[in-house]
Amino acid sequence: MNTIAAYTKFEILGAIRIPMVFVALLFLPTVGMLLFVVPALGDDPTAAALSTGSMCLFTVLIICSAQYGLGIADARMKPWGGYVRTLPGGPLPKMISMIAMSALFVVLGTIPLIAIAAIGTKATASVGGVLLGLGGLVLAIVPFSLLMLAIGYAVNPYLVSVITNISPIILAYVGGLFTDPHSTSGFVTHVAPFIPTRGSAELVWAAIGDYSPQPLSMVMLVVWTVVLGFLAYRAYRSDEGKRYR
Amino acid sequence: MTDVLARASGVTRRYGDVVAVDNLTVEIPAGQLLGLLGPNGAGKSTLINMFVGLRKPSSGTVELFGHDPRDVRARRRMGMTPQETGMPETLRAGEVIEFVAAHYPDPLPRKELLAQFHLEDVEQRQTGGLSGGERRRLAIALAFVGRPDLVFLDEPTTGLDVEVRRALWDGVKAYNAAGGTAVITSHYLEEIEELAERVIILDGGRCVADDSVAALRQVSGLRKVTIRTPEVPTLPGVVGVEQSGDVVSLLTHDADQLVRDLVASGAPFADLEVSTGSLEDAFLAYTTKAPTATPASA
């Protein structure tokens, strides 16, 4: 418990002393809200609410990619990260503290988006729906963080920054976060259920509005979580820090 | 028989085609101050990294307190210095110590640790703003936070001035006197000579010597004849000359004969002194292929 508290404090101190990071994290979803959701869907209460949910989930993806993908790659590059691995803590305290931090970031990060939706659109959702939606977003941290952990540990640290910059946009796009959740045609609609982002998105949509999750997406969500968990664990075990050839 | 705290048995580590550590067997008994010497690239850091669980051996086994070093249980009684570059810059020195201390069941009280390493003044400063010496001291302090039974000190005093270095040496000696075991690598042979009881010399990933400091001095087979003379005399049997001002040191395998020759040559000299070669001579004898410095036995 002591160790987990120490890691959490460590993460928070490291994060709050560089506040510009938060601006960078929230930039894309905010632009998405202002340029697409507000002008195009602002007048449709249901569509605006679901799209806001999509943008919030996009934020979760970006937070996870920064925190786990980049964060892990950074720790692998720095001698300090290697040193921490020699301490008798094991991976658990770090993971738990990082997940706690993610939950905090997600809640804080979605506030501006929900505010934009409330002020700039006719989006409607019950208070219970919004809270449930936040729960769905926090739950989405699990598959996203596992994915980014696997990338952070397995990929050459220099490449990780590229991958973590691009992958949230691609995963959000093919997962159908930028399209109408109810759409029944088009490439994305057919691919989306097989993408790790889709299952989480459907849960969030179901929480905040009129949407019923597809069984296929739910099954794939479980499959992805198990697979990504395995990959992340294996990548962690075989990681030895920076490698040269 | 003394307890063996850590053991590497037939360990080899490759990086691609490069063999960094080559079939090495090392035991670290309790209470020993073990010096690890070797030229750059000899495999010192790789060996230490395997002992602390940062790297896996390509073959062979490494044990730390009876477990695989990658197992958390193995590392509870072990301490290590981080490299002082790349400490979390935005965190204060005190916060870094607190973070590390949280890993151990019975850490040293922070005030005690700070006092021991003369860090009281920097407790509230961010590590990014510390001087090189302060950061180095903090890094060494971190190895001792958890009251370890075994510490790995990789180049502990590189870049420190003499006074601070002396103070740290005293700290290591006190730790050892209280029963602590330490493995030290250093660029300063002087440091190893001062601290270590046993020295392992690595070269090309192999152990080329493993003995007490005294025995290694002997085994180099070299004697140093130091005299004060205005001119370096030309004498047979001299394998090396060091000169500073009018003090000349002649390295030879046979000091007796050299002194006879010196006297017979009629060259003026004063303050004759004969000493056994330093660890540095032994080190050079083992790690260079110069014909004049072949080890007497291996």
The pLDDT assigned to B84 comes to: 64
The pLDDT assigned to B222 comes to: 75
Nearest chain A residue to B152, by CA: A86
* Residue A22 pLDDT > 90: no
- CA distances B96 to A84, B93, B101, B110, B138, Å, are 11, 5, 9, 11, 9
Reported as a single tens digit per residue, the pLDDT across B137-161 is 899 999 999 999 999 998 888 778 8
Cα(B12)–Cα(B17) distance, integer angstroms:
12
Residues B16-43 have a mean pLDDT of 90
Is B53 at the interface with chain A, CB within 8 A? yes
Is B130 at the interface with chain A, CB within 8 A? no
Phi, psi of B244 (to 5 degrees): -140, 110
Cα(A129)–Cα(B136) distance, integer angstroms:
54
Q: Which of B16, B80, B86 sits opposite A245 (nearest CB)?
A: B16
Q: Do residue A89 and residue B72 have CB atoms under 8 angstroms apart?
A: yes
Chain A neighbors of B73, CB-CB under 8 A: 88
Nearest chain A residue to B46, by CA: A240
The pLDDT assigned to B289 comes to: 46
Cα(B90)–Cα(B130) distance, integer angstroms:
11
Q: Do residue A79 and residue B83 have CB atoms under 8 angstroms apart?
A: yes
Nearest chain A residue to B88, by CA: A80
Nearest chain B residue to A245, by CA: B16
Residues A173-178 have a mean pLDDT of 90
Q: Do residue B103 and residue A6 have CB atoms under 8 angstroms apart?
A: yes
Chain A residues bordering chain B (beta-carbon distance below 8 Å):
2-3, 5-7, 9-10, 13-14, 17-18, 78-80, 82-83, 85-90, 240-241, 243-245
Confidence of residue A244 (pLDDT cuts 50, 70, 90): very low
Most confident region among A26-30, B177-181, B241-245 by mean pLDDT: B177-181
Q: Which of B15, B52, B90 sits opposite A17 (nearest CB)?
A: B90
The pLDDT assigned to A241 comes to: 60
DSSP A59-111: HHHHHHIIIIIIHHHHHHHSHHHHHHHHSTT-HHHHHHHHHHHHHHHHHHHHH
Cα(A203)–Cα(B192) distance, integer angstroms:
63
Q: Do residue B78 and residue A3 have CB atoms under 8 angstroms apart?
A: no
Cα(A244)–Cα(B21) distance, integer angstroms:
16
Q: Do residue B82 and residue A79 have CB atoms under 8 angstroms apart?
A: yes
| Exposure b/e, A136-146, CB count within 10 A at least 16 = b | bbbbbbbbbbb
The pLDDT assigned to B17 comes to: 86
Reported as a single tens digit per residue, the pLDDT across A198-223 is 999 999 999 998 888 999 999 999 99
Which class for B34: exposed (0-12), middle (13-18), buried (19 or more C-beta within 10 A)?
buried
Percent of chain B's residues with pLDDT above 90: 40
* Residue A121 pLDDT > 80: yes
The pLDDT assigned to A242 comes to: 54
Cα(A108)–Cα(A125) distance, integer angstroms:
19
Most confident region among A7-16, B54-63, B209-218, B230-239 by mean pLDDT: B54-63
* Residue B296 pLDDT > 50: no
* Residue B224 pLDDT > 90: no
* Residue B59 pLDDT > 90: yes
Task: Kindly report the average pLDDT of chain B as a whole number.
Answer: 86
Write down the domain spans for chain A. 2-239
Is B104 at the interface with chain A, CB within 8 A? yes
Chain A neighbors of B143, CB-CB under 8 A: none
Q: Do residue A10 and residue B82 have CB atoms under 8 angstroms apart?
A: no
Confidence of residue B265 (pLDDT cuts 50, 70, 90): confident
∠ CA A161-B70-B80, nearest 5°, is 85
Q: Do residue A241 and residue B85 have CB atoms under 8 angstroms apart?
A: no
Residues A156-162 have a mean pLDDT of 87
The pLDDT assigned to B293 comes to: 38
User: B199 - beta bridge partners?
Assistant: B35, B211
Chain A neighbors of B104, CB-CB under 8 A: 88
The pLDDT assigned to A198 comes to: 93
The pLDDT assigned to B193 comes to: 84
Nearest CA to CA, how far is B46 from chain A (Å)?
Answer: 12
* Residue B220 pLDDT > 70: no
Chain A neighbors of B125, CB-CB under 8 A: none
Confidence of residue B80 (pLDDT cuts 50, 70, 90): very high
* Residue B28 pLDDT > 90: yes
Residues A155-172 have a mean pLDDT of 89
Please, how many CA atoms are within 13 Å of residue B273, restricted to the half-sphere of its CB? Answer: 11
Residues A77-102 have a mean pLDDT of 85
Q: Do residue B87 and residue A80 have CB atoms under 8 angstroms apart?
A: yes
Nearest CA to CA, how far is A153 from chain B (Å)?
Answer: 14
Residue of B50, B85, B87, B99 best to disrupt the A interface, most CBs of A under 10 A: B99
Chain A neighbors of B75, CB-CB under 8 A: 86-88
Reported as a single tens digit per residue, the pLDDT across B189-203 is 888 888 899 999 898
Q: Which of B54, B75, B90 sits opposite A82 (nearest CB)?
A: B54
* Residue B182 pLDDT > 80: yes
Nearest CA to CA, how far is B165 from chain A (Å)?
Answer: 22
Q: Which of A13, A85, A90 sits opposite B90 (nearest CB)?
A: A13
